[in-house]
Amino acid sequence: MPAAQQLTVGDAVLYPREHAVGLIYEVYERGPGERPGVQLLLSRGGRDLSGFSAEEADQFLVPLGHTGLRYEFTHVGQLHADYRRGHFAAFATARLLAGFQDPRYLAVP
């Protein structure tokens, strides 16, 4: 069983299932006594993978480190507009962090 992760907004992660780099753009509360879930944006086209429970994040996401991104999620329309405006330039840092794990991630757009 994977170790429990404590991901925060701005953390870079690998999503090996799609050989993709992602950024955590929101951490959300679940129920009493449950660890928070996270929402993930992929570097490929700004695809929103939406929510992962803490247990799913432990199983499917590989943490890389913090990128310095500060973001306050309001709604999906704003998220996509912010992506188009270049607000997620932290993907460059995320790809660099991923490159330390596997150099092939450096070339992933």
> N- to C-terminal Cα distance for the chain?
31
Name beta bridge partners: 13: 22, 63
2 pLDDT more than 70: no
Interval 55-85: pLDDT, tens: 999 999 999 999 999 999 999 999 999 999 9
Q: By CB neighbour count within 10 A (0-12 exposed, 13-18 middle, 19+ buried), where does 72 fall?
A: exposed
Interval 4-53: pLDDT, tens: 678 999 999 999 888 889 999 999 998 898 899 999 999 888 888 889 99
Q: What is the pTM of this model?
A: 0.88
